[in-house]
Amino acid sequence: SGSCLLRDSQVRVMENMVTNAEKYFGQFCSLLAAYTRKMARLRDKADQLVKQLIDFANTENPELQATLRNFAEDLAKVQDYRQAEVERLEIKVVNPLKFYGAQIKQTRAEIKKFKHIQNNEMKQLEKLEKLRQKSPSDRRMIVQAETSVQRASVDASRTTRQLEETIVGFQEQKLKDLQKIFSDFVTIEMVFHAKAVEVYSSAFQTLENYDLEQDLEDFRAKMHGVYGHYSARPFTDTNTSSSVPWALTSQNTQSTIQSQRKEEDAGEDDSMEEDMVEDLRGQGQGQGL
């Protein structure tokens, strides 16, 4: 019958709609979950970079240390926003998509029920046809079968209306979820990127404000200030020679090369050397190493 054909089409259309939505929403879900995971991995790498920057800052002179720490703090702030982004994506994008998948399963169950009722109508019809062909004179059986057909037909009709409501409801839910989920995705991304611009602008200023030339000049002055004394004398200062194993009898050597010595107070040089080494270590290495 035509109404059965129609209902059959209706169910097929509905099934196709559900299958299609299941397919694409499922892919949106797994892709956005993967996207969120990759975002979390990105955050992890940046967090490690922050840690290394702070470790490195501790091995540098105070000015550079301050610059690197401020920069690292800004970088860490971006990761905090990224973490918030990851959490929001999970709550407002990935989870609703998962939930949508669960709803689709429920819709599938409803369709199955409709199909069952439809099949029942068809079975009753077939039964009636067979009766009419095989026992056209058995009025009692035929009337009974006709009643069953009518009952099944009423069921199927009611089901058609229900299916119609289900289709509209399904479409409504799909469109609303689509708009809500992707709007939320865009909002979450937008907030994150806007915050990142803000923080990176501050980080850029931090790096711009670092006075590299002054830092280098200080370093150069320190190097020349200390090594400048030594550069004119090849080797000297026997006061500390006892600490050098291979020069235990350097008193003899001293006599040979004493003429080359230009400085008077070797002890002072020693303390300067220590200071310089201390300074260099402070700059090149830090106390931690």
Using CB under 8 A as the binding rule, the residues of this chain from 190 to 209 that contact its own copies are: 190, 193-194, 196-197, 200-201, 203-204, 207-208
Lookup: tokens for 52:
């290394």
Q: Give the residue with the Cβ less far from its own copies, 20 or 135.
A: 20
Find the binding residues for its own copies in span 10-29 (CB under 8 A). 10, 13-14, 16-17, 20-21, 24, 27-28
- Name the residue type at position 204: F
**Count of residues binding its own copies (CB under 8 A)?**
124
Angle value at C-alpha 151, between 150 and 152, nearest 5 degrees: 90
Lookup: tokens for 99:
């939930």
Which of 87, 99, 171, 262 touches its own copies (CB under 8 A)? 171
Query: Residue 141, interface with its own copies (CB under 8 A)?
Result: no
Rounded to whole angstroms, the Cα distance separating 235 from 232 reads 9
CB-CB contact of 215 with 63 (8 Å): yes
Which of 80, 87, 135, 182 touches its own copies (CB under 8 A)? 182
Query: Residue 116, interface with its own copies (CB under 8 A)?
Result: no
Helices (H), the chain: 2-57, 62-89, 95-134, 139-209, 212-230, 250-257, 266-284
Instruction: Tell me the residue length of the chain.
Output: 289
What is residue 91's DSSP assignment? Answer: I
Q: Give the residue with the Cβ less far from its own copies, 71 or 114.
A: 71
Minimum CB distance to its own copies, residue 231 (Å): 5
The piece of 83-91, 98-106, 107-115, 245-253 that touches its own copies (CB under 8 A) is 245-253
Taking Cα atoms as reference points, which of 224, 237, 198 lies closest to residue 80? 198
Q: Give the residue with the Cβ less far from its own copies, 91 or 175.
A: 175
Find the binding residues for its own copies in span 26-85 (CB under 8 A). 27-28, 31-32, 34-35, 38-39, 41-42, 45-46, 48-49, 52-53, 55-56, 59, 64, 68, 71, 78
Query: Residue 110, interface with its own copies (CB under 8 A)?
Result: no
Angle value at C-alpha 173, between 38 and 26, nearest 5 degrees: 35
Rounded to whole angstroms, the Cα distance separating 230 from 24 reads 76
Which of 99, 135, 212, 262 touches its own copies (CB under 8 A)? 212
Query: Residue 140, interface with its own copies (CB under 8 A)?
Result: no
